[in-house]
Amino acid sequence: MEVFQGKSIFKGVAIGPLLYYGKKETTVRREKIEDTEAEVARYKEAREKSVAQLRQLHDDSVKKVGEENAAIFDVHAMLMEDEDFCEAIENAIRTQNVNAEYAVAVAGENFSKMFAEMEDEYFKARSADMKDISERLIRVLTGEDEMHSFEEPSIIIADDLMPSETVQLDKEKVLAFVTRLGSSNSHTAILARTMNIPALIDIPIREDWNGKLAAVDGHTGTFYLDPDEETLHEMEEKRDRDLEARRLLQELKGKKNISLDGKEINLYANIGGLKDVAAVLSNDGGGVGLFRSEFLYIGRDSLPTEEEQFQAYKAVVETMAGKRVIIRTLDIGADKKADYLELEKEDNPALGYRAIRICLTRPDIFKTQLRAIFRASAFGKVAIMYPMITSVEELDKIHTIVAEVKKELTADKIPFKDDVEEGVMIETPAAALISDDLARKVDFFSIGTNDLTQYTLAMDRQNSRLDVFYNPHHKAILRLIRMTIENGHKGGAWVGICGELGADTTLTETFLRMGVDELSVSPSMILPVRDAIRKSHAYPEKE
């Protein structure tokens, strides 16, 4: 038996045979082509087929991991059709008389290197995406299968897994996945948690492990290769306890989110669109605490119209049947791009022109969205949440625009509810520090712990080199959260948490004792968090 210590990115225990997932090495040879136009046509046909694959993968993945996580396929489709990338390939075929596979390989490598050398973190991340889409194109051109297939349930081992690869794994046959590379805060890690697949990183995997028996302990981050009988028995017992715990969670459906000492809070879900609502309802979510409206703007060539947005919001609101639906206004910029907005390149986009800053300087976009949201309010219980707020002045400008929108809707005799709740996301240290002032102007706060953590610690949470320093439980973060809750209540606002810390059950009792009113988590975490609430105390013990 060999034992390796890695990092856990999702708890759970798995026992089974190992399946090495290695990318198929496709040797791309340079070939001389006489009929270049026919070769360009062959490339275009492969591109169309690849884009169709990506669109289908998006639709299939929504069912597994929700709209937000499936959006990676929309990004890949956009890159696949990028004008500069396409021109580079077609130009190489025509001027160098080379085959499409070779032109794609060269263009993919050049664009990947170009992105990798950029300072902008968003574009750096696109480096791996360019490799991914180039490999897809080459597979289509050469007629190779897209993914490894496997018959029996297995523990997947790999050097690394792209998000696009992770969501394609057959969840019914994947016991766990273990990689050598990766970050505990990466997109792939978030996908693993969403899919409830035990996962480890930082394990020095080898291809010759393929077929061997192994055990994964996601609770401790331990990997056992060829476990002995004693270890195997211990892991089997631990796995059975986990499975029983999951079964017991199902019995919590219909139960209240109430602490041992009687405090009841709201437990909502984060969604990216209508397709996520089924998961909210099946997991007994009490409402939608974060509707990420930016996914209506991504993966398209132009702004969504008022009518398109209205229909999307209305469908979610009607399906939630009177339960609160909190719609976050456009939060685009930083790592979320829409080329048609023609946003200028920034040295530090996470600190740049994004979210409410775009809305306040382009009020035509903002008013269109607000009109759609207020129209949807006539069909259920809607609340509006504004992201990336840093000042009272921003809030005053928002309220002026909201008043204009209401006046226009009234003049147009379009029905809407005048008492729609309005709130702000507390995701910057500035907002937390002036939360006493903000609370007097809103109905609620929702604390976005992901951005609040990285802005407070001055660390990019996607940077794997910072994992050893990145601490979302840092005392400074918890102090800002406590301050926000206390200031919110003093000012008459209720306070929720919608970031990943809301689903961290090791902090559930801490948040209850701070006085939080609502937690919004991914649909799959609703029942585990409900269980944690029902096992926690919210008030100091009486002497």
Does 41 have pLDDT greater than 90? yes
Position 123 confidence tier, pLDDT thresholds 50, 70, 90: low
Active site residue 187: yes
Q: Fold identical between 2-22+148-249 and 36-142?
A: no
- Of 76, 187, 399, 537, which residue is the catalytic one? 187
Residue 241 known to bind ligand: no
- Fold of the domain spanning 2-22+148-249: Glucose Oxidase; domain 1 (3.50.30)
Position 144 confidence tier, pLDDT thresholds 50, 70, 90: confident
Share of the chain above pLDDT 90, in %: 55
The CATH superfamily assigned to 36-142 is PtsI, HPr-binding domain (1.10.274.10)
- Mean pLDDT across the stretch 143-161? 76
Average pLDDT score, the chain: 87
Q: Using CA atoms, how far apart are residues 382 and 374, in angstroms rounded to an integer?
A: 8
Does 339 have pLDDT greater than 90? no
Quick: pLDDT tens for 353-375.
Answer: 778 998 999 999 999 999 999 99
CA-wise closest residue to 227 among 9, 10, 12, 14: 14
Minimum mean pLDDT range among 18-32, 131-145, 479-493, 502-516: 18-32
236 contact partners, CB below 8 Å, separation of at least 6? 15
Q: Using CA atoms, how far apart are residues 343 and 425, in angstroms rounded to an integer?
A: 23
Position 543 confidence tier, pLDDT thresholds 50, 70, 90: very low
- Residues linked to residue 213 through DSSP beta bridges, in sequence order: 17
221 contact partners, CB below 8 Å, separation of at least 6? 5, 6, 7, 8, 200
Q: How many other C-beta atoms can be found within 10 angstroms of the C-beta atom of residue 142? A: 14
- Considering just the CA atoms, what is the radius of gyration of the chain in Å? 25
Give this prediction's pTM.
0.68
Read off the tokens for 461. Answer: 């949470």
CA-wise closest residue to 21 among 156, 154, 131, 152: 156
Residue 328 known to bind ligand: yes
401 contacts 363 by C-beta, under 8 angstroms? yes
Quick: pLDDT tens for 210-265.
Answer: 999 999 999 999 999 999 999 999 999 999 888 887 787 788 888 999 999 999 99
- Of 58, 76, 359, 498, which residue is the catalytic one? 498
Q: Using CA atoms, how far apart are residues 478 and 453, in angstroms rounded to an integer?
A: 10
| Beta strand pairing call for 13-20 and 213-217 | antiparallel
Position 337 confidence tier, pLDDT thresholds 50, 70, 90: low
429 contacts 452 by C-beta, under 8 angstroms? yes
Residue 292 known to bind ligand: yes
Q: In what order do the strands lie in the sheet with 13-20?
A: 2-5, 222-225, 213-217, 13-20, 154-158, 174-179, 199-201, 7-10
Domain 260-534 top-level CATH class: alpha beta
Minimum mean pLDDT range among 128-132, 298-302, 338-342: 338-342
Q: How many other C-beta atoms can be found within 10 angstroms of the C-beta atom of residue 514? A: 18
- Residues linked to residue 176 through DSSP beta bridges, in sequence order: 155
Q: Using CA atoms, how far apart are residues 69 and 387, in angstroms rounded to an integer?
A: 20
Most confident of 18-27, 99-108, 165-174, 275-284: 99-108
Q: Using CA atoms, how far apart are residues 536 and 517, in angstroms rounded to an integer?
A: 14
Q: Where are the domains of the chain?
A: 2-22+148-249, 36-142, 260-534
